[in-house]
C-alpha cells in the first residue's frame, strides 16, 4: 500500500502546478446490479484514488491551500451489523493523510460560492454533481473540463514513482503465478472457462482483483474476445490476456499464447517466433527520447519481413511499410500507457497519449495506436504486437482494395482458422533504457512448452 504521506505530497504538488487553484474531485458510486442492495463491485475513479487513496464509494475531496477535506457518507447505525466494523470519520481520515473528514451532506455548502476546478468520472451521476457544484462544463469521455487541472493530472500520473512501481511489480509477480497455473493446467478436452476461472482464482487468492475482464480464448483473432465458451482442442492456440490489480488500484496487463496440446505446430511456431522477435525488437528500442510510434513501426517492420518470407504479403518491404499492409495481420497499436487504469488516462484520450501537435492517424491499424509520445524515464507502457488471421479482414472489400496485391488473399484464406497470437509485456522507460516489469511470465517457446499440461487440469484443480 502507499503511504498516507504520498497522497498529501501529490495534493501539494497539484496545487503548486495550479498556482493555488482549489480543486473538487469526486469519487464514483457502485451502480446497482439488481437492486441498490445488490450493487456491482465498486472500483474507485483512478484520479480520485491517485490524490486521496480513498476507495470508498460516493466520496468527494476539496483540495485547497488549507489542506484536503474528504466528504464521505457517515456509516449508518446498522452498518456494523451488515458490514462489520466501521471506522469513525476521523479514523478514516488518518488512512488517507487528509486534514478533515466531513459528512457528504456538507459538500454542497462547502463548495458554494467558490471557484473550483474539476474533472469527470466514469459515473455519470457523480460527474453531473461535480459539474453542478463547480459550475464547470465537464464530461468524462471524451473528457471535457478544466484544462490546467487535466494537464496536471496527466503529467503527474504519467510518471511512475518507485512506490507505484513496487505495486506494479507485486501485481506482475502475482500475475505470473496465474499464467504459470494456467499453462500447467491446459489440457486437450478442457474449456476456456476452466482456465479463466483458475487464472482469476490464483490472482484472488493472492489478494489481487483483475484490472479488466480476463481474455481467455482459442479465438484470439477476436482482439478483446469476452466469451469463455470454447472447448480446448488439439491444434488450438490459447490466448490469455490478463492482469492482476492490487487493492491500491495499480495493476499489470500481460498476454501469452500457447498451444493447447503442448507443442507449437510448424505454422504456430513460425508465427510465434515472428511475434516474439517483433516484441523484443520493439522493447529493445525503448529508451528516453524515442518516439513511441517508431516502437510500433519496429514491430510492424519485423512482422512484415516474416510475412513477406511466408508469402502472406507480397512486394517490397518499402511498399508494404508505406501502405501499412501489415495491419492485415497486426491490426492494432503496439501498446498503451499503463498505471491505475489498464489503458492509463484513456479518458483523456490523445491529450494524454499523444504529444502536442501529433494527430492520430485515421488509417486502419494505426488509428488504434493509443500512444505517440516521446518516451521519458518513469513512463510505464505495454508492448504487445500480435499476428491474427481475421475472417472479417479477409471479407472487407475496402481493405482488400486498399492493399490490393500486397496481401496474398488466397493465402490469407488458407490460414483462416489459425486464430491469433499476442505477446504483451509491461515496460518501464528508465534513465538509460528500459526494464520489463513482467519478465517472470514465461515467454520463450522452450519455457512455455516446458510448462503446458504439467499439472492437473484446471477443472480438477478447482473442483477435484
Ramachandran category for residue 279: left, alpha or beta (phi over 0 → left; psi -120 to 50 → alpha): alpha
Would you call 62 helix, strand, or coil by DSSP? strand
CB of 180 or CB of 213, closer to ligand GLY: 213
CB of 55 or CB of 241, closer to ligand GLY: 241
Residue 212 binding target from ligand GLY, Mn ion, none, CB below 5 to 8 Å by type: ligand GLY
Check if the beta carbon of residue 321 is closer than 8 Å to that of residue 309: no
Kindly state the smallest distance separating residue 440's Cβ from ligand GLY, in Å: 18
Residue 425 binding target from ligand GLY, Mn ion, none, CB below 5 to 8 Å by type: none
Provide the mask over 219-258, with x wherever binding to ligand GLY is found by CB under 6 A and - wherever it is not. ----------------------x-----------x-----
Q: How many CB atoms lie within 10 A of CB 1?
A: 12
Nearest by Cα to 367 from 396, 397, 327, 337:
327
C-alpha 272/C-alpha 303 separation (Å) is 11
Nearest by Cα to 53 from 31, 33, 66, 72:
72
Q: By CB under 6 A, is residue 426 in contact with ligand GLY?
A: no
Check if the beta carbon of residue 96 is closer than 8 Å to that of residue 7: yes
Kindly state the smallest distance separating residue 335's Cβ from Mn ion, in Å: 6
- Helix 89-96 and helix 4-17, axial crossing angle in degrees, nearest 10: 70
CB of 69 or CB of 255, closer to Mn ion: 255
Which residue in the set 384, 393, 412, 457 belongs to the binding site for ligand GLY (CB under 6 A)? 384
Kindly state the smallest distance separating residue 267's Cβ from ligand GLY, in Å: 24
Provide the mask over 291-330, with x wherever binding to ligand GLY is found by CB under 6 A and - wherever it is not. ----------------------------------------
* Count of residues interacting with ligand GLY (CB under 6 A): 6
Check if the beta carbon of residue 288 is closer than 8 Å to that of residue 214: no
Strand partners, 241: 215, 255
CB of 52 or CB of 382, closer to ligand GLY: 382
Task: Supply 16's cell numbers.
Answer: 503548486
Nearest by Cα to 366 from 336, 333, 402, 400:
333
Provide the mask over 69-108, with x wherever binding to ligand GLY is found by CB under 6 A and - wherever it is not. ----------------------------------------
Q: How many CB atoms lie within 10 A of CB 394?
A: 16
Provide the mask over 332-351, with x wherever binding to ligand GLY is found by CB under 6 A and - wherever it is not. ----------x---------
**Contact residues for ligand GLY (CB under 6 A)?**
212, 241, 253, 342, 384, 424
Amino acid at each position: 500500500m502507499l503511504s498516507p504521506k504520498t497522497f498529501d505530497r501529490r495534493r501539494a504538488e497539484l496545487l503548486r502546478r495550479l498556482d493555488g487553484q482549489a480543486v473538487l474531485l469526486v469519487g464514483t458510486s457502485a451502480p446497482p446490479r439488481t437492486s441498490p442492495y445488490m450493487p456491482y463491485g465498486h472500483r474507485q475513479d483512478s484520479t480520485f484514488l491517485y490524490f486521496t487513496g480513498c476507495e470508498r464509494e460516493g466520496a468527494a475531496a476539496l483540495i485547497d491551500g488549507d489542506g484536503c477535506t474528504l466528504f464521505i457518507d457517515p456509516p449508518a447505525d446498522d452498518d456494523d451489523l451488515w458490514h462489520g466494523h466501521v471506522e469513525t470519520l476521523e479514523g478514516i481520515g488518518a488512512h488517507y493523510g487528509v486534514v478533515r473528514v466531513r459528512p457528504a451532506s456538507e459538500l454542497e455548502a462547502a463548495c458554494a460560492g467558490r471557484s473550483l476546478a474539476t474533472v469527470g468520472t466514469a459515473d455519470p451521476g457523480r460527474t453531473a454533481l461535480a459539474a453542478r457544484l463547480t459550475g464547470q462544463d465537464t464530461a468524462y469521455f471524451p473528457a471535457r473540463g478544466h484544462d490546467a487541472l487535466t494537464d496536471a493530472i496527466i503529467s503527474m500520473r504519467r510518471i511512475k514513482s518507485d512506490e507505484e512501481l513496487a505495486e506494479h511489480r507485486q501485481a506482475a509477480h502475482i500475475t505470473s503465478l496465474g499464467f504459470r497455473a494456467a499453462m500447467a493446467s491446459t489440457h486437450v478436452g478442457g474449456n476456456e472457462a476452466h482456465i479463466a476461472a483458475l487464472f482469476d482464482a490464483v490472482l484472488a487468492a493472492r489478494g489481487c482483483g483483475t484490472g479488466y475482464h480476463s481474455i481467455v480464448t482459442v479465438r484470439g483473432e477476436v482482439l478483446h474476445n469476452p466469451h469463455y465458451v470454447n472447448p480446448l482442442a488439439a491444434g488450438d492456440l490459447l490466448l490469455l490476456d490478463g492482469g492482476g490489480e492490487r487493492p491500491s488500484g495499480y495493476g499489470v496487463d500481460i498476454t501469452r499464447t500457447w498451444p493447447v496440446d503442448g507443442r507449437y505446430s510448424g505454422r504456430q511456431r513460425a508465427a510465434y517466433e515472428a511475434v516474439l522477435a517483433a516484441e523484443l525488437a520493439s522493447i529493445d528500442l525503448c529508451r528516453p527520447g524515442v518516439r513511441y510510434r517508431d516502437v510500433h513501426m519496429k514491430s510492424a517492420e519485423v512482422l512484415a519481413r516474416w510475412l513477406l518470407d511466408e508469402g502472406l504479403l507480397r512486394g517490397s518491404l518499402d511498399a508494404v511499410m508505406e501502405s501499412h499492409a501489415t495491419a492485415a495481420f497486426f491490426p492494432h497499436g503496439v501498446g498503451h500507457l499503463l498505471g491505475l487504469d489498464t489503458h492509463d488516462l484513456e479518458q483523456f484520450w490523445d491529450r494524454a497519449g499523444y504529444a502536442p501537435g501529433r494527430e492520430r492517424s485515421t488509417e486502419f491499424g494505426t488509428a488504434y495506436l493509443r500512444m505517440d509520445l516521446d518516451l521519458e524515464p518513469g513512463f510505464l507502457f505495454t508492448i504487445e504486437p500480435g499476428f491474427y488471421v481475421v475472417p472479417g479482414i479477409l471479407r472487407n472489400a475496402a481493405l482488400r482494395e486498399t492493399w490490393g496485391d500486397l496481401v496474398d488473399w488466397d493465402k490469407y484464406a488458407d490460414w483462416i482458422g489459425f486464430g491469433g497470437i499476442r505477446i504483451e509485456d509491461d515496460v518501464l522507460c528508465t534513465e538509460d533504457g528500459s526494464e520489463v516489469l513482467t519478465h517472470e511470465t514465461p515467454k520463450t517457446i522452450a519455457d512455455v512448452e516446458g510448462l503446458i499440461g504439467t499439472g492437473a487440469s484446471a477443472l480438477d484443480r478447482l473442483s477435484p
